[in-house]
A = this chain, B = another copy of it.
Amino acid sequence: MNLKELATQLGLSPTTVSRALNGYPEVNETTRERVMAAAKRNNYRPNTRAIRLATGRALAVGHVIPIATRHEIVNPIFADFIAGAGETYSRNGYDMLLSVVADETEETTYRELKLRGAVDGVIVHSPRMDDPRIALLRDIGLPFVVHGRASGSALPYNWVDVNNRRAFHRATEFLLDLGHARIALVNGLEYMDFALRRRSGYVDALASRGITADARLMTSDQMTEVAGFEAAQAMLAMPDPPTAFLVASMISAMGVRRAIEAAGLVMGRDVSVIIHDDDLSYLKNGDAVPIFTATRSSVREAGRLVAEMLLNVIAQGDAPPTHRLLEAELIIGQSTGPAPGPRSTPEGMTGTMHP
């Protein structure tokens, strides 16, 4: 059933029916009700393809997911982010278009999305430092919002980001306040912008207490369980091991915890751990009591906000760039405690672990 059929059935012109359904004022209220009723009765839905062509709008938003060929990692936060963004789109009658592409064809993909008229705007994921996508998208005139920021980019752009710097600054201070002096950073890959900012927050917090960050206590790798394990294991085997870890993600932290336990230590007593918790729905940080002390910020909520911002940008068109900086919450869990004093051996065991 299409518009024309519905119109003839009603004895009206397609024009009037279209206007009635779309809430235009130049149609009699009784007529509108009649049209509405008939549309419902016939289960009529306007054909999206036709609307798109007629209005010149795609009514769709693109998410381009580069599959890095270097290390084939699908981002674990992706599903939750998408879930958040998707809710916003559904609510506003937009479709979400996903493009999974090899990262060397990412630029082409954006260009084609624009040329083909497949989307009205895009979300930029996982920005890197000096991310070239920002200039590109500005250049081809495709509205976009970045999830995160790209340090070094001179051009203004729309973004939604967590205050990673402050989160890790605060977490570091929290550990310092607990008496920890040797605090390790198990960071994500540092070409990712958020990882850079986290390190800077950590380094600065140490510096403001007169501590120079020890390069041997900073690692930067993929955020996997195995990488977390190996990093922590190596550091715990050092002659002067850290008493606390700042860890980039829940998954890495599972590896860190395993290394701690494998060393015969107890997390929260012998070694403290603070993680950044994206509040992933399939990786909850405990139920009532959080397992890990964490800087928490829901990536799903971020997805919602990013999507809303993009829809605004698409609607407004020429407004100046908007930003939104989300503060992470510091959640106290069971993984942190006062630094074990070198001479006070609470249970007569810890001393042996740090020869």
Q: Could you list which residues of chain A lie within 8 angstroms of chain B, going by C-beta atoms?
A: 43-50, 52-53, 58, 60, 65, 67, 72-76, 78-80, 82-83, 85-87, 89-90, 95-101, 112, 115-118, 223-226, 251, 254, 257-258, 261, 280-284, 286-287, 291, 300
A97 touches B100 (CB 8 A): no
Question: Which residues in B have their C-beta under 8 angstroms from that of A43?
Answer: 115
Contact of A282 among B73, B80, B115 (CB under 8 A): B73
- Contact between chains at B67 and A287 (CB < 8 Å): no
Cβ-defined contact, B98 with A96, below 8 A: yes
Complex interface: chain B residues within 8 A of A45 (CB): 112, 115-116
Q: Is the CB of A282 within 8 A of B82?
A: no
Whether A282 contacts B223 by the Cβ 8 Å rule is yes
Q: Which residue of B lies closest to A230 (CB)?
A: B287
Whether A48 lies near B251 (C-beta < 8 A) is no
Measured CB to CB, the nearest residue on chain B to A286 is B226
Contact status of A224 and B283, CB under 8 A, knowing A45-B112, A47-B116, A79-B75? yes
Contacts of A83 in B (CB 8 A): 65, 67, 74, 100
Chain copies in the assembly? Answer: 2
The answer, among B50, B65, B76, B281, for a CB contact under 8 Å with A283, is B76
Per the bound structure, the CA–CA distance linking A284 and B225 in Å amounts to 8
Docked-complex contact B87 and A100, CB < 8 angstroms: yes
Contact check, B75 vs A98: say whether CB atoms are below 8 A apart: no
Report the nearest B residue to A47, measured CB to CB.
B117
Majority secondary structure, A binding face: mixed
Chain B contacts of A85 at CB under 8 A? 100
Chain B minimum-CB-distance residue to A67: B83
Q: How far is the CB of A33 from chain B (nearest CB, A)?
A: 22
Beta-carbon contact of B58 and A86 below 8 Å: no
Closest 8 CB pairs of A and B: A86-B100, A45-B115, A76-B282, A48-B116, A49-B52, A74-B79, A49-B53, A96-B98
Is B73 touching A76 in the complex (CB atoms < 8 A)? no
Smallest beta-carbon distance A74→chain B, Å: 5
Chain B residue contacts of A300, Cβ below 8 A: 74
A291 partner residues in chain B, CB cutoff 8 A: 226
Known interface pairs A48-B118, A95-B97; A74-B80 also in contact (CB < 8 Å): yes
Contact residue among B73, B98, B251 (Cβ-Cβ distance under 8 Å from A98): B98
Q: Can you give 18 A-B contacts (C-beta < 8 A)?
A: A46-B116, A74-B79, A74-B282, A76-B76, A76-B282, A78-B79, A82-B100, A86-B98, A86-B100, A89-B100, A95-B99, A97-B98, A98-B98, A226-B286, A226-B287, A226-B291, A257-B258, A261-B261
Q: How far is the CB of A81 from chain B (nearest CB, A)?
A: 9
A282 B224 Cβ-Cβ under 8 A: yes
**B residues near A96, Cβ cutoff 8 Å:** 97-100
Write the chain B residue with the least CB distance to A98.
B96
Interface-centre pick from A45, A99, A112, A287 (highest chain B CB count, 10 A): A45
Name the residue on B nearest A112 (C-beta): B45
Contacts of A80 in B (CB 8 A): 74
Bound: A260/B95 CA distance, A: 46
Nearest chain B CB to A69 CB, angstrom units: 12
**Closest CB in chain B relative to A237 CB, distance in Å:** 19
Residues of B within 8 A of A76 (CB): 76, 79, 282-283
Which residues of chain B have C-beta atoms less than 8 A from A50's C-beta?
53
Contacts of A99 in B (CB 8 A): 86, 90, 95-96
